Amino acid sequence: MKDDVIWGLFVAFSTAALFSIGGGSALIPEFHRQLVEVNGYMTSLEFAKSVALAQIAPGPNMLLVSLMGWKVAGLPGLLVSTFAIVVPPSLIAYSTWRAMERLKDAAWLNAVKIGLAPLVVGLMLASGTITAQAANHDAIGYVLTLGTATIMHFTKRNPLWMIATGAVVGLIAHRLGFMTLV
């Protein structure tokens, strides 16, 4: 039974990894389908709590998968899930790198990179907007988001300072009765 769960986690996450384009956050609906709807490993509420917890800890968004593995099957679940989400895409990335080294003087490869760059900027801006909509429940939240974005755009400050400032502002706003808690 336990082995079935471990194998189920491996299949769910490695297939999700291979079809994922655009990183961890884009995969959340697919993870929900696999873990809650298809396999019934966790309830919808447990799933939502895991997503929120993964946001607190630093590191790749993909580590959401490690957390879910932990919730479903403890340490073996965490290790297998992390392996499933990291290794298959890494093999593809490594082969792509080798191919790009060989082709680095090709005009078309250069055009691919230059042509994709504006799409990536648009995509990143969209992630910021979607994350802000999920995180912010009142004006204080938007002030924090815009303030952080402005300061970080014009300085090379360590991002940790901004996170710490956000936490302190949230705490003070709550104590003064301004902060909406969810």
Partner 1 sequence: MEDLIPQREDARNISLAELCTGFVMMGLLGFGGLGASSQYIIVERRRWLSAKEFVELFAVCAILPGGNIMNATIMLGARYHGVLGSVLAMTSLLFMPLLILVAVVVTYDHFSYLPDVRAAIGGAASAAAGLIVATATKLGRGVVWRAAPICFGVATFVAISYFRTPLWLVIVFMAPPSVLMALWQGRRRS
Ranges within 48-67 binding partner 1 (CB under 8 A):
53-63, 66-67
Give whichever of 44 and 155 is closer to partner 1, judged by the CB atom. Answer: 155
Q: How many CB atoms lie within 10 A of CB 54?
A: 20
Which of 22, 44, 45, 48 touches partner 1 by CB under 8 A? 22
3-class secondary-structure state, position 120: helix
Which of 6, 10, 25, 36 touches partner 1 by CB under 8 A? 25
Per CB under 8 A, 121 contacts partner 1: yes
Please write down the long-range contacts of 145-154, taking CB distance under 8 Å and 24 or more positions apart: none
Per CB under 8 A, 167 contacts partner 1: yes
| C-alpha–C-alpha distance, residues 15 and 84, integer Å | 8
Scanning 5-13, 38-46, 166-174 for contacts with partner 1 by CB under 8 A, the matching segment is 166-174
| C-alpha–C-alpha distance, residues 160 and 153, integer Å | 15
Give whichever of 76 and 166 is closer to partner 1, judged by the CB atom. Answer: 166
Give whichever of 9 and 86 is closer to partner 1, judged by the CB atom. Answer: 86
Number of shown-chain residues binding partner 1 (CB under 8 A) = 100
Burial (CB count <10 Å: 0-12, 13-18, 19+), residue 79: middle
Scanning 2-10, 39-47, 118-126 for contacts with partner 1 by CB under 8 A, the matching segment is 118-126
Give whichever of 38 and 130 is closer to partner 1, judged by the CB atom. Answer: 130
| C-alpha–C-alpha distance, residues 43 and 84, integer Å | 22
Residues 69-98 that bind partner 1 (CB under 8 A): 70-71, 78, 82, 85-86, 88-90, 92-94, 96-98
Kind plus residue range of the DSSP H or E element containing 67: helix 64-102
Closest CB 153 distance from partner 1, rounded Å: 5
Give whichever of 23 and 33 is closer to partner 1, judged by the CB atom. Answer: 23
| Residue listed under structure tokens 């400050």 | 157
Angle of helix 159-175 versus helix 139-154 axis, rounded to 10? 160
